[in-house]
């Protein structure tokens, strides 16, 4: 079997309760935090091949501190208080838009190929209260190296099926270890200015003793597939909450939200589906159309998004709502939207919020596209239909079969569809029942959209893929 490619990202965090650091707020108003991710690359024998830490940008109060990322509601310049979420959304565990190139949520913390039986990545994301002074930090980096053998043994157990694939998230205590340290003055009435992890607890070993129990996500080909396919905690498939709670004296309680995504399937032997290239995110996109150098998309919650139809990352912009999510097409400067209530609606294909107008019926649509000035749809009873894109209720014409279609799109000269068995097919837009020709493998898609160069596909895993379709005669 070949490798599949996965990505881990931190979508956001939630401050359930702000921390207590020192009485004078030397670091800024209320909490200022950063995220640290320790990454261990482990082979099947349990040997740790690489061990490195990545530190995010500092987030919180930016008053007189312009290099920080503003976060929190303590003032008009930020500062994190109890109840704050970052990014500021009711659902910080769900990512909207592209990942940040800078290191603050939502941002990628790891991406790579996982070969069955060979590769494992151990990710330990932690969130830290920042204050002037080293505090816990220096000892933390040393500790991560010292415990390689314990983490390597757990990796070996996962490879050997001793540790269940269904429990890929574990804490240090389950390995028989946790960080033990001493931070002078931390338990004093005035607190102490220092960097320390949220989740710091008292240790019985002396008046300044501390304990910390970090949480790790183990990713190999099996655990990553398991996470992507399951909604473990109610936040969505592949999304894991890591909750860190301080000793009551220090007060802090934070949740980090990590998402594991499958970027490419390994069916071409190179970590991807043959001919398809991952170019961006397409979170919750269920229908899509291309027009005038732009991609329009409808999400599962009926938001209408737009981005440039470039074959690389480009931010999606919310431009209003859609009346339905059964299918989207674009032709003649207009968008056409099919609903699950069997209606057809239209509006101008403009990058602004506009009203939709009902123009007719669209019974049982599972895919919608446009080509050569006509609308085409596939229906749930495996038929292909066409009609003119006029602004009136006219009959659809049955022009053949469309067996197992998941999504429908078009290139310069052909209709294209992806079927439920993960195959791409094409046929000309003729007005008779014409055979479909198999093109090759395809991702499991919610939506297809064609440009002059090829096809964009929004996958079930929330990724945007592109496949070049040569023009006729090439």
pLDDT tens-place string over residues 195-243: 789 998 887 766 667 888 999 999 998 999 999 989 999 999 999 999 9
**Confidence band (pLDDT; 50, 70, 90) for 110?**
very high
The neighbouring-strand residues paired with 336 are 329, 346
- Statement to judge: residues 256 and 376 lie in one domain: no
**Higher-scoring residue by pLDDT: 25, 381:** 381
The neighbouring-strand residues paired with 17 are 253
Q: Is the pLDDT of residue 133 over 80?
A: no
Q: Is the pLDDT of residue 58 over 70?
A: yes
**Confidence band (pLDDT; 50, 70, 90) for 86?**
very high
Asked if residue 439 belongs to a domain, the reply is: yes
Q: What is the DSSP string of 290-350?
A: EETTEEEEEETT-EEEEEE--SS----EEEEE-S--SEEEEETTEEEEE-TTSEEEEEE--
- Statement to judge: residues 294 and 258 lie in one domain: no
Q: Which domain, by its residues, includes 67? A: 4-264
Q: Which of 210, 233, 264 is the last residue of a domain?
A: 264
In percent, the amount of the chain with pLDDT more than 70 equals 89
Asked if residue 381 belongs to a domain, the reply is: yes
Asked if residue 180 belongs to a domain, the reply is: yes
The reported pLDDT for the residue numbered 441 is 86
- Statement to judge: residues 399 and 251 lie in one domain: no
Asked if residue 446 belongs to a domain, the reply is: yes
**Confidence band (pLDDT; 50, 70, 90) for 351?**
very high
**Confidence band (pLDDT; 50, 70, 90) for 300?**
very high
The reported pLDDT for the residue numbered 353 is 94
For residues 433-452, give the mean pLDDT.
89
- Statement to judge: residues 464 and 373 lie in one domain: yes
pLDDT tens-place string over residues 134-179: 566 667 767 777 888 888 888 888 888 777 888 899 998 888 887 7
**Higher-scoring residue by pLDDT: 3, 218:** 218
Asked if residue 58 belongs to a domain, the reply is: yes
- Statement to judge: residues 69 and 197 lie in one domain: yes
Asked if residue 269 belongs to a domain, the reply is: no
Planar angle of CA 460, 463, 467, nearest 5 degrees: 100
Asked if residue 138 belongs to a domain, the reply is: yes
**Higher-scoring residue by pLDDT: 316, 313:** 316
Q: Which of 237, 264, 291 is the last residue of a domain?
A: 264
- Statement to judge: residues 107 and 11 lie in one domain: yes
The whole-angstrom separation of Cα 297 and Cα 459 is 13
pLDDT tens-place string over residues 451-460: 988 999 999 8
pLDDT tens-place string over residues 231-270: 999 999 999 999 999 988 888 999 999 999 987 665 444 4
Q: Is the pLDDT of residue 27 over 50?
A: no
- Statement to judge: residues 244 and 363 lie in one domain: no
Task: Look at the chain and report how many structural domains it folds into.
Answer: 2
**Confidence band (pLDDT; 50, 70, 90) for 72?**
very high
Asked if residue 433 belongs to a domain, the reply is: yes
- Statement to judge: residues 204 and 283 lie in one domain: no
The reported pLDDT for the residue numbered 275 is 80
pLDDT tens-place string over residues 411-427: 878 999 999 888 899 99
Q: Minimal CA–CA distance to 20: which of 90, 78, 82?
A: 82
**Confidence band (pLDDT; 50, 70, 90) for 75?**
very high
Q: Which of 241, 264, 287 is the last residue of a domain?
A: 264
- Statement to judge: residues 335 and 375 lie in one domain: yes
Neighbouring C-alpha atoms within 13 Å toward the C-beta of 43 = 4
- Statement to judge: residues 130 and 258 lie in one domain: yes
The reported pLDDT for the residue numbered 474 is 42
Q: Is the pLDDT of residue 283 over 80?
A: yes
What tokens were used for 298?
């409808």
**Confidence band (pLDDT; 50, 70, 90) for 181?**
low
- Statement to judge: residues 136 and 215 lie in one domain: yes
Q: Is the pLDDT of residue 191 over 50?
A: no
- Statement to judge: residues 283 and 235 lie in one domain: no
**Confidence band (pLDDT; 50, 70, 90) for 313?**
confident
CATH number, domain with residue 436 = 2.120.10.30
**Residue 28, C-beta contacts closer than 8 angstroms, at least 6 positions apart:** 60, 61, 62, 63, 65, 68, 78, 79
Beta strand 59-60 with 69-70 is parallel
């Amino acid at each position: 079997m070949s490798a599949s490619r996965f990505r881990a990202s931190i979508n956001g965090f939630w401050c359930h309760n702000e921390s207590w650091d020192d009485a004078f707020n030397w670091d800024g108003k209320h909490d200022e935090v950063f995220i640290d991710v320790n990454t261990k690359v482990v082979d099947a024998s349990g040997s740790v091949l690489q061990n490195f830490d990545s530190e995010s940008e500092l987030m919180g109060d930016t008053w007189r501190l312009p290099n920080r990322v503003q976060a929190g509601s303590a003032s008009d310049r930020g500062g994190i208080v109890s109840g704050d979420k970052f990014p500021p959304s009711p659902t910080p565990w769900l990512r909207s838009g592209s990942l940040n190139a800078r290191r603050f949520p939502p941002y990628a913390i790891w991406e790579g190929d996982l070969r069955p039986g060979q590769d494992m990545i151990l990710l330990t994301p932690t969130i830290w209260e920042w204050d002037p002074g080293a505090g816990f930090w220096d000892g933390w980096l040393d500790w991560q190296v010292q415990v390689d053998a314990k983490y390597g043994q757990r990796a070996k157990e996962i490879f050997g099926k001793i540790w269940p694939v269904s429990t890929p998230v574990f804490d240090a205590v389950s390995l028989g270890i946790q960080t033990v340290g001493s931070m002078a003055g931390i338990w004093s009435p005035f607190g102490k200015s220092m960097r320390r992890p949220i989740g710091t607890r008292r240790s019985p070993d002396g008046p300044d003793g501390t304990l910390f129990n970090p949480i790790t996500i183990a990713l190999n080909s099996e655990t990553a597939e398991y996470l992507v396919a399951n909604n473990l905690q109610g936040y969505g498939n592949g999304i894991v909450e890591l909750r860190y709670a301080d000793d009551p004296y220090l007060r802090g309680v934070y949740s980090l939200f990590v998402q594991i995504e499958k970027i490419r399937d390994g069916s071409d032997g190179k970590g991807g589906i043959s001919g398809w290239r991952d170019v961006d995110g397409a979170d919750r996109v269920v229908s899509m159309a291309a027009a005038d150098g732009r991609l329009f998309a409808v999400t599962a919650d009926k938001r209408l998004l737009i981005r440039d139809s470039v074959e690389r990352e480009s931010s999606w912009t919310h431009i209003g709502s859609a009346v339905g999510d059964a299918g989207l097409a674009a032709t003649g400067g207009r968008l056409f939207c099919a609903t699950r209530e069997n209606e057809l609606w239209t509006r101008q294909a403009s990058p602004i919020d506009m009203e939709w107008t009902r123009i007719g019926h669209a019974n049982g649509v599972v895919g919608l596209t446009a080509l050569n000035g006509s609308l085409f749809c596939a229906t749930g009873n495996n038929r292909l239909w066409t009609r003119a894109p006029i602004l009136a209720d006219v009959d659809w014409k049955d022009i053949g079969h469309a067996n197992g279609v998941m999504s429908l799109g078009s290139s310069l000269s052909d209709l294209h569809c992806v079927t439920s068995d993960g195959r791409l097919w094409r046929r000309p837009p003729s007005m008779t029942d014409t055979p479909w020709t198999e093109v090759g493998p395809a991702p499991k898609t919610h939506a297809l959209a064609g440009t002059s160069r090829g096809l964009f596909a929004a996958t079930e895993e929330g990724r945007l893929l592109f496949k070049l379709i040569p023009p006729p005669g090439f």
